[in-house]
Amino acid sequence: MDGFLAAAALLPSGLRRRALALEETGRAACEELRLRRGREATALLAGREYGLGAGPVTESDLRAVLEAATRASFHAAGGQLRRGFIAAPGGVRVGVCGTAVPGGDGMDGVREISSLALRIPRAAPGCADGIWPELTAGGFGSVLIVSPPGAGKTTLLRELVRRLSSTGVRVAAADERGELADAWDGEPAFDVGPCTDVMTGAPKAVAVPLLLRAMDPQVLAVDEIGPGDAVALLEAAAGGVKLLATAHGAPGSGESPLYAPLLRARAFRRRIWIEASGGVRRYTVEDLGPCA
């Protein structure tokens, strides 16, 4: 699967031609395509935005992307829009920004769309080769992957899920945003291994107990721990299920309140820090001691 082509396919024809005019090295390094109303569309490469050389993005351009991303069912994507994104074909996540529509529990949606961020997904078979011996020494234990946004948490998570599943381990993935497996019509587009079961679209706090009851996993994989997720993950860990999770953070930034309760409960055996610079990612494995 080519994540760049999947993202470019969502663009209206004029912008698509500009995106596809990027050299192969640019396509390979591109992390996001960004569209802001009234300004030039850009490509994010190695943490820096570069203009695509097109004219200002129009309202019709933004609407065309949303139509393509939702397969002409924009209103049916209301549940995702309440969380600020749309999961599109090819594993592309479309971040949506504009005027929020207030709701009883936060936000009911977004109107007057002002900008879109098309996150480009990529599989990276072999990216965990250098740390796999550390992660499996003495047996695989629960792992927390931490990095700043855009540094490759989901890519590493996907590869670890694939490798574990390929060894016969039953993995259940709560793929809330559809980026991990990109399951369409029930079949994952990314290779997540032969023994992986995927629940797509449900909030993790809802999906986790369902997966535990229905699929009897040995490892539970979740992408980006959010508010309210810790309770469900602690229950899974207490039941003997190993965790494989990601969260935002950076070395020296302190423990995030989103996953601090899990660390206090010694739910993780190891933590992986990801640092990215100039398009190069470096993984550091930290031993947290035996799980409780």
CATH, residue 138: 3.40.50.300
Q: Are residues 271 and 140 in the same domain?
A: yes
pTM, 2 dp: 0.80
Of 63, 49, 56, 65, the residue nearest 16 (C-alpha): 65
Q: Are residues 140 and 266 in the same domain?
A: yes
pLDDT for position 75: 59
Number of domains into which the chain is organized: 2
Q: Which of 72-81, 105-114, 147-156, 182-191 has the highest mean pLDDT?
A: 147-156
105 pLDDT exceeds 80? no
Among the ranges given (36-50, 97-111, 155-169, 276-290), the one the predictor scored with the smallest mean pLDDT: 97-111
Domain assignment of residue 64, given as a range: 3-119
Q: Are residues 205 and 262 in the same domain?
A: yes
204 domain-assigned:
yes
Whether residue 199 contacts residue 211, with contact meaning beta carbons closer than 8 Å, is answered with yes
Residue 22 sits in a domain of what CATH number?
A: 3.30.450
250 domain-assigned:
yes
Q: Are residues 20 and 106 in the same domain?
A: yes
Helix residue spans in the chain (DSSP H):
3-8, 13-20, 24-29, 59-69, 78-81, 132-136, 153-166, 204-215, 229-238, 260-264
147 domain-assigned:
yes
Q: Which of 37-41, 122-126, 272-276 has the highest mean pLDDT?
A: 37-41
Q: Tens digit of pLDDT for each residue in 67-104? A: 898 875 655 555 666 777 888 888 788 989 888 776 66
125 domain-assigned:
no
Whether residue 239 contacts residue 232, with contact meaning beta carbons closer than 8 Å, is answered with no
Q: Are residues 277 and 136 in the same domain?
A: yes
Q: Are residues 179 and 268 in the same domain?
A: yes
pLDDT for position 230: 92
Q: Tens digit of pLDDT for each residue in 210-268? A: 999 999 999 999 999 988 899 999 999 999 999 999 999 877 777 888 889 999 999 99
Q: Are residues 253 and 141 in the same domain?
A: yes
127 domain-assigned:
no
Answer with the residue of higher pLDDT: 171 or 79.
171
Q: Are residues 163 and 282 in the same domain?
A: yes
Q: Are residues 187 and 257 in the same domain?
A: yes
pLDDT for position 108: 58
Q: Are residues 280 and 241 in the same domain?
A: yes
